[in-house]
Each structure stands twice: as C-alpha cells, then as structure tokens.
Amino acid sequence: MASGIRDKVAILGMGCSKFGERWDCDAEDLIVEAYAEAMEDAGIETSQIDAAWFATAIEEVHVGKSGVPLSVALRLPNIPVTRVENFCASGTEAFRGAVYAVASGAADIALALGVEKLKDTGYGGLPQRGSGPLNDMIKNNGSAPGGFAQLATAYSEKHGVDMDTVKRAIGSISVKSHANGVKNPKAHLRKAIPLETVLAAPMIAAPLGLFDCCGVSDGSAAAIVTTPEIAASLGKQERITVKALQLAVSNGVESAHNSWDGSYFLTTRKAAERAYKEAGIEKPREQIDMFECHDCFSITEMVTMEDLYISNEGEAWRDVLDGFYDADGEIPCQIDGGLKCFGHPIGASGLRMLYEMYNQLLGRAGERQLKDPTFGMTHNLGGQPHQNVSSVAIIGREGA
Amino acid sequence: MVGIKAYGGYVPRRRLPRSVILENTSWFNGALKAYSKGERSMCNWDEDALTMAVEACRDCLDMTRPDDIRAIYIASTTLPFTDRQNAGVLGTALNLGQNMMTMDITSSQRAATSGLINALSVVQGTGGSALFATGEHRRSRTANTNELMYGDGGAALLLGSEDVVAEYVGAGQIAVDFVDHYRGQNSDFDYNWEERWIRDEGFMKIVPEAVQAALDNTGLSAEDIDHFVMPGTIRNIASMVGKRCGMREEAARDNLHNVMGEAGTSHALVMLVDCLQDAEPGQTIMVIGWGQGCDALIFKTTDLLPTMANRQGIKGHLAHRKEESNYNKFLAFNGLVEQDGGLRSETDKQTALTTLYRNREMVIGFVGGKCSQCGTVQYPKSRICVNPNCGAINTQDNHRMAETSATIQSWTADNLTYAPDPPHHFGMVTFGEGGRMMADFTDVDEGGVAVGDEFRMVFRIKAADEKRNFNKYFWKAAPKVQA
C-alpha cells in the first residue's frame, strides 16, 4: 500500500459561515464570510495561497460552473482554482485536492472552500434536477428521503428489528443532534425537540418523518492547509494534521447485482477500512474520540455508525438508545448539531464537519467542547444508498 | 384455416362507481341519474391506449414471442401519437424484432373490426401470424353522458392459420356515413347526436344489413349464432338488434356496461375476448363493429379453446379491481382540471431522441444483458459485467427483463417528489432470473406494499412532457393480476 497521507499535511486555518436560510446572501457573501475567518485563523495573506479547490454541487442554482466564481469572489491572484463536484462529498473532495497538492510538494499553502446557496429555488428540500438523457429515461422518480427511507425497510427486515424500534432509534438520533445544535451559534436550527414531536411529525417518505430529514440551508466553509513544517514556521504550536483521507465510489454492484441487501453502505465500509489503515487506527470504537457523519437522514446516521465499524452490525439502534453517541456518551456523534441542525449546503458540508473536529481538537469548541479529543473523524455520503460516493477523513493532533 | 390463435385483454385496475360521478355532476344535469348503476374502468395517470395495448398483447402472448409474427396492428382513436407510428412502439415494447409490417388503424369506432378483417385476409394470403391490438382511453367533458358510458380498456388477438382457437368463418361489411358522433382534428371531446335517432335509424337498420351480409357470405343462418357480440351504449341494443335479425334470445352478450363501460374502438374486441373466455368449443360467435357503417365478423371456436385458460383476458383484469372513490382524481388523471403540480413538477422533461433511438431496446423494450461468461443477468446492459467476480468485457447478450417476477427488496412511499398520484411508491426490485433495479411502482394500494411482495413489470408512461406533447414510456413494478 502507498504510504498514505498521515501527518504529511497540517491545517493552518479554518472558517465557517453561519448556516441557514441566508435570504440576505449570495454565494459570494457566504464564500467571503468563511474565507475571512479561515485567513484570520491561518494568519496569512491571500498572496501566500498557491492553489485552490472549490466545491459546489448544484452550481446551476447559484454560481455556475468552473473555478472562476471562487477566483472572482476572493480576487485570487490568478492561481490554479479547480472546481470539484462529487455529490455530498464535494466539500471533502476540495479538501482532498488541497491536501494532496501540499503533500506532493506542488503547493506550500492551499485553500479548500465549499459553498452552496440552495435557498433560491422557490421550494423546500433539495432541488431535483435531471441526471442525463439516458438516466432520465430509466431512473426512478423519487426524492432524496425516498431513496434513504429504504435503508430503514431493508435494515428492519435484515436484522429483525421491528419498525417501531427503528423509528424510535432514528428519532432519538434527531433528538440528540438537536440537543447539540442548541449550543452552536453557527447552526441553522437551534431548538431542542422531544422524541414525541419527532415521532408525530408528518411523513416525508415512509418511514422517515420531517425530523428524520436534515434541513436545507445556505452556507460555506473553508480550510487552509500546509506542511507541518511551514505551519510551525508560521507560529502554530499546536498542530492538527490529516491522518487519513479516503473515498469509495459505487461501481454499479449495489444497483445492479443481487449481492447487496440494501441495508448498509458498501462504499462507507470500504472507505472506513482504508482510512483506519491509513491513520493507523486498529480499534475505532476505542480510538476515535468523536465523529461527524453524514446525517442527511436519521437512518443514514444509524446505518453509518455500523459501516464505520463503531457499532456492531445490527446493533447501532441499541447504542443509540443507550446514549453511546450523545454529547456525554462514549463517542459523541454530531457534536456540532450535524446536518440535522446545520442543514446541507452540499459543497460546504464536508468542510463544515472538519471545522468542528478541528476546533474540538484545538479546544476551541466553547459550550460543546469535549474533553481532550485526539482523533476526530468525518464522513460524507452522496447519491443514493444503491449508488453513491462515500468519503472518510480523520484528523488529529500531530504525532498521535 | 385462419383465425385466432390466442387472445389477451386489459382493463385498468381502477374502477370509478357511477354513483361517485353523479355525486359530483348531477347537480348540473339531473337527467344523468338514470345511469347511476355500476362502475366504469379508468386509466391510471400513467396509462393510455398504447400502454393498455402492450399489456393486452403480453397477456395474449403469455410470455412467448412467436418468431413467425409478420405484422403488428394497433387500432384506436386515442393513440398518443398522431405522427409517430404507435404500432412501432408496441412492437419495440414487446421485443418482436423489426422484420415485419406495422400499422396504426384509426378514425372510427369501427377501426378494430375493419382492421381485423383486413389483417385476417393478409394472414390468409401471406401465412405466418399477426398481432392485432387495440386500446382506447376516451376523454369526455365533466357532466356529459359519455363520462358515465365510457370506460378504458384494450384487447389483443394473435392471428394465424394453424392451431387456431377460433376459426374465422367470414364477414359482412356495410359503409354508411351515419354520423352519430364525431371528433374533429384537434378536438378533445366527442360531439353526439340524439340517442333515439341513433337507435332507430342507425343500429336497428344498419347493423341488420351487415349481419345479413355476413350470414349470406358464410352460408349460416341467424339461429346458428351462439354469441352475439355487439357493443352499444343504448340499453338492450344488442338484444333488440339480435331479435330483429332472428337470433336466439340468449345469444346477445352483455356489453360490460355495469363493470367497465364502453372502451370505444377496443370494445368489440374486449367483448370478444370476454366471450371467448366463456365460450365452449364448437360455438359460433358474431362480432359487430359499429361506426359509419357496420362490420359483422363470424368466428367458430375450436377444440383448442381450453388451452387459453391461463390468460387473464378481460375477466381476470375485471376481477383485479381497485375502487376509486375520488372523482377529482379521475378529472386530474384525464387532464380535465387545472391542477397545481408545485414547483417540483416544473423540471424539464425533454427527451433526447438520439439517446432514445440508441437505447430503444433498453428503454422501450426493457431489454437487459446476460453475461455469456458468468451468466449474470443485469440491467441496464453494459459493456463490462457487473458481477464483481467476473468483469468480462463485451460478453452480454440481450435478455428480456419484463416477463420475470419482480420481488420487492426495499420500498418507500415518497410524499416529497412530484408525482401525479402521491405518495409516490418506488423501491428496489430483484428479478426472478437475476438482476435488479430501483423501480417506480404503480397501481399499488397505499399501506399494501411489503418487502418480499412479488410484483410484475408493466409498460407505462414514465412522465408526460407537456411542453412538447411527448409521452415518455418505461417499465414499472405493479401488483400481479390475480384473478
């Protein structure tokens, strides 16, 4: 295996806009908000950035294609800017591009920035768009919750967990994330909700109710990365380094071959296995201190807890109900409120997750601060359960 | 001996009780209350004349695809395309190949019977077999009598000269420009003249002439007719005409008014298929087609008739019934109200005709691939085998997916996505011979879907591109027809 990315790249600074229905903002405003914070944190000038990666997924509803919108918004000095799109992993993909550029020596300092301005469509939920002329002829009709809801029916069937228990477990996931989101000033939704409210909510796509779905919002997040040596030379005493960056992409097996049972994410398992190996983590349930997973829907989070090998297969619902993932549990999950409370401006989400892990590792998380975390993990899942991209990133204290 | 080798039928699952129509319309026209009995069939939003014809043909062919089919006909006055051959779509959907004659027959309620007479003569002359299909999805204004009289449905006959279940004995035809109703180009609805005149000057005078011509041509007498198949929405019209022609009283067949209404051009063949499902070997059937004149065809059933027992026909589909109690749904499905589909419904649905042409077997014919190296069936057919333990390149042979079972692995009822009949049900289905797909469901009962249910794939409208007036067709999973 390749030597991997572990400890080769450090995070110099990060920024994150306030997420929400930013009726007052264009994408440009959000970009600048996240960028300004990241630059202040990094303590550098724009002229010191060698290259940039720009993530946005549904560009046709806001900035349009290419790296130009970022370069123009930030008046970057004609450096390389690459626009990336890989479904909901787009933000993490921008981070991967920037990190690899530094690791290769092609750049000393690189910027990763993701943005999505979703609230200009005129309706709630994610915009539904075409997927190419042939796909549009043979692909099913259905919303994002409709696709993910099916994890619940397949999971319930496979593990013999009755749907009421599944509903209660995934409902508790949303309750937990809302409780965390209350403490986060940058979150979109900041209101604690009781389980009864979750269970009584209108059905969006059976069995997922309104509170099983993450919000849709506008937002931006950014990371500036460099080598640990340059970070040290710029005065960074406590350095957070990248331990692993993995991506796994479906190849059609889940959607067209009968070996997949519909109850889990094949890609997440592959990405997690490779990430743990890259980071030198052998027992994730003992070594990972906290993680942000892609809770686009509550059932996605529950299944992912197993696919990241934190909970045993078929037992995540029990860990959830036991409070294992609560803020005061063994491994807090979505300590910042998650997609559930931040909403999901697609290009920004992966970087928003890293922003929380980074601040927690540096002890800057305020009311939400966890005790001495060493490793933080983030996970994105884009597409549908039967055809998707999944990313896993692990960051931690340098040398850990 | 030319005749009918096999038959198939189709009636949409939904039935609208006439009482439901009247609850909503009799305030305007109290006279409609005279038609309060029974129910009519109604197309789901994703059904039309073509989809019904496809399903009737599948019933008729019973999973086989005879290689001697030399012609495909479709007869209807409500075909989805005015200038794109509908029979060609039908042939592609059925995977019948391209070395054949295809033809649409239209413009009259008599199109099916006249077309059938013609098709039988062609079969007689050329040999081989021919597939003759009909489907009719009639629209009518709200509070019009037609709304109560009409129904939707289709039928199909496989014609040939060997192993027939009903021999074609002969026919009589009368051409008279008697306009009881008409529909001009670009009109949505029929324009009707007085019923009493239609009865007295039309049916009672013109049909007997055609009946007599058929009897004269075949050397039979009226008393020889065991089943008199005559559509007509005027009460007891078949009995009255039969009596005038000298037929036995019991010969007149029920016109299915109570259970489905009259399916226009299709109805003569719908009633014929229903009759064949009742008939005994050795019986004589006369079929009437009415419309600017009259056709009278005579068939005689053979000893092979009982071999058709596994067809659903009309009776099986009539039994596969789902009552619709929402009149507004009927209006919406038939485009009779201005409905707000919401912003999500505005997504552009243009079809790239180049892409459709390249992939017509995959899309319209629902043809997947079967790897010749490892045997894995897969949809869509692709260049590299999906089996993780194979991965062979360019090894896939065409494989028809439509006729195998489709078992539900996971599903949902989606309230968020735009669908004309929410909640939209869809899910992963696995096919009996291998392969799977995330498929749209149709005709389901809300609350009646479960993992493990065995469904059947059906040919339906995937979406209507209203901007360009183009129906996009594809395959969906539906509950099996279980008579």
Instruction: At B185, give phi and psi (nearest 5°).
Output: -55, 135
Domain boundary residue, one of A233, A262, A291:
A233
Asked if residue A131 is part of any domain, the answer here is no
Q: Are residues A188 and A71 in the same domain?
A: no
How is domain B3-333 classified at the CATH fold level?
Peroxisomal Thiolase; Chain A, domain 1 (3.40.47)
Question: How many CB pairs (< 8 A) connect A and B?
Answer: 143
Instruction: At B393, give phi and psi (nearest 5°).
Output: -105, 135
**Which domain covers residue A64, as residue numbers?**
10-120+218-233
Whether B407 contacts B437, CB under 8 Å? no
User: A150–B382: do the CB atoms touch at under 8 Å?
Assistant: no
Distances (CA, A) of B443 to A244, B44, B262, B456: 48, 7, 21, 11
A129 CB neighbour count, 10 Å cutoff: 12
Q: How many residues does chain B have?
A: 483
DSSP string of B191-203? EE--HHHIIIIII
**pLDDT at residue number A1:** 61
Q: How close, in Å, is residue B300 to chain A by CA atoms?
A: 44
**Domain spans of chain B, in order of start:** 3-333, 361-479
Asked if residue A5 is part of any domain, the answer here is no
User: B428–A256: do the CB atoms touch at under 8 Å?
Assistant: no
All residues of chain B having their beta carbon less than 8 Å from the beta carbon of residue A140 are 426, 437-440
Q: Are residues A78 and A211 in the same domain?
A: no
Residue A232: Cβ-neighbour burial (10 angstroms; 0-12, 13-18, 19+): middle
Q: Are residues A224 and A331 in the same domain?
A: no
Q: Are residues A276 and A382 in the same domain?
A: yes
- Please report, for the domain that includes residue A58, its CATH number: 3.40.47.10
All residues of chain A having their beta carbon less than 8 Å from the beta carbon of residue B410 are 150-151, 153-154, 157, 262
Q: For residue B350, what is the nearest residue in chain A, using CA coordinates?
A: A133
**pLDDT at residue number B60:** 98
Whether B158 contacts B99, CB under 8 Å? no
pLDDT tens digits, one per residue of B303-353: 999 999 999 999 999 999 999 999 999 999 999 999 999 998 988 889 999
**pLDDT at residue number A131:** 87
User: B416–A143: do the CB atoms touch at under 8 Å?
Assistant: yes
Q: Are residues A83 and A178 in the same domain?
A: no
Whether B289 contacts B295, CB under 8 Å? yes
Residue B391: Cβ-neighbour burial (10 angstroms; 0-12, 13-18, 19+): middle
Instruction: Give the C-alpha separation, B231 to B239, whole Å.
Output: 11
> What's the domain count of chain A?
2
Q: Which residue has the tokens 């041509």?
A: B217
**pLDDT at residue number A368:** 97
Strands of the sheet with B377-378, listed across from one edge: B377-378, B367-371, B396-400
All residues of chain A having their beta carbon less than 8 Å from the beta carbon of residue B380 are 138, 256
Q: How close, in Å, is residue B352 to chain A by CA atoms?
A: 6
Q: Are residues A146 and A59 in the same domain?
A: no
Instruction: At B409, give phi and psi (nearest 5°).
Output: -95, -40
A136 Cβ under 8 Å from any chain B Cβ: yes
User: B419–A141: do the CB atoms touch at under 8 Å?
Assistant: yes
Closest residue by Cα to residue B146 from B41, B260, B45, B261? B261
Instruction: Give the C-alpha separation, B170 to B210, whole Å.
Output: 12
A253 Cβ under 8 Å from any chain B Cβ: yes
Instruction: Give the C-alpha separation, A319 to A313, whole Å.
Output: 11
**pLDDT at residue number B204:** 98
Q: Are residues A168 and A79 in the same domain?
A: no
Q: Are residues A90 and A193 in the same domain?
A: no
> Nearest CB to B386: which of A122, A203, A256?
A256
Domain boundary residue, one of A184, A202, A233:
A233
A61 Cβ under 8 Å from any chain B Cβ: no
Domain boundary residue, one of A233, A265, A294:
A233
Q: Are residues A176 and A47 in the same domain?
A: no
Q: Which residues of A are catalytic?
A: 88, 344
User: A262–B462: do the CB atoms touch at under 8 Å?
Assistant: no
**pLDDT at residue number B483:** 54
Q: For residue B408, what is the nearest residue in chain A, using CA coordinates?
A: A154
Asked if residue A130 is part of any domain, the answer here is no
**pLDDT at residue number A81:** 98
All residues of chain B having their beta carbon less than 8 Å from the beta carbon of residue A119 are none
Q: Which of A58, A120, A141, A216 is the mutation pick for testing B, counting most B CBs within 10 A?
A: A141
Asked if residue A129 is part of any domain, the answer here is no
**pLDDT at residue number B348:** 87
Q: Are residues A275 and A371 in the same domain?
A: yes
Instruction: Give the C-alpha separation, A13 to A240, whole Å.
Output: 10
Q: Are residues A57 and A159 in the same domain?
A: no
All residues of chain A having their beta carbon less than 8 Å from the beta carbon of residue B359 are 134, 137
pLDDT tens for chain A, 400 residues long, are 689 999 999 999 999 999 999 999 999 999 999 999 999 999 999 999 999 999 999 999 999 999 999 999 999 999 999 999 999 999 999 999 999 999 999 999 999 999 999 999 998 888 877 889 999 999 999 999 999 999 999 999 999 999 999 999 999 999 999 999 999 999 999 999 999 999 999 999 999 999 999 989 999 999 999 999 999 999 999 999 999 999 999 999 999 999 999 999 999 999 999 999 999 999 999 999 999 999 999 999 999 999 999 999 999 999 999 999 999 999 999 999 999 999 999 999 999 999 999 999 999 999 999 999 999 999 999 999 999 999 999 999 999 9
A121 Cβ under 8 Å from any chain B Cβ: yes
User: A150–B342: do the CB atoms touch at under 8 Å?
Assistant: no
User: A206–B423: do the CB atoms touch at under 8 Å?
Assistant: yes
All residues of chain A having their beta carbon less than 8 Å from the beta carbon of residue B420 are none
Whether B450 contacts B427, CB under 8 Å? no
Asked if residue A134 is part of any domain, the answer here is no
Instruction: Give the C-alpha separation, A357 to B254, whole Å.
Output: 75
User: B430–A146: do the CB atoms touch at under 8 Å?
Assistant: no
ipTM over 0.85: yes
Instruction: Give the C-alpha separation, B21 to A126, whole Å.
Output: 39
Asked if residue A1 is part of any domain, the answer here is no
**pLDDT at residue number B425:** 98
All residues of chain B having their beta carbon less than 8 Å from the beta carbon of residue A207 are 412
Closest residue by Cα to residue A38 from A98, A103, A107, A116? A98
> Nearest CB to B439: which of A128, A129, A140?
A140
Report the relative pairing of strands A387-397 and A219-226 from DSSP bridges. unpaired
Instruction: Give the C-alpha separation, B116 to B262, whole Å.
Output: 19
Instruction: Give the C-alpha separation, B269 to B109, whole Å.
Output: 11
> Nearest CB to B417: which of A138, A146, A261?
A146
A386 Cβ under 8 Å from any chain B Cβ: yes
**pLDDT at residue number B349:** 86
Q: Are residues A153 and A44 in the same domain?
A: no
User: B348–A130: do the CB atoms touch at under 8 Å?
Assistant: yes
All residues of chain B having their beta carbon less than 8 Å from the beta carbon of residue A144 are 416
Report the relative pairing of strands A51-55 and A81-84 from DSSP bridges. parallel
Q: Write out residues in chain B with pLDDT < 70, as ranges.
A: 483
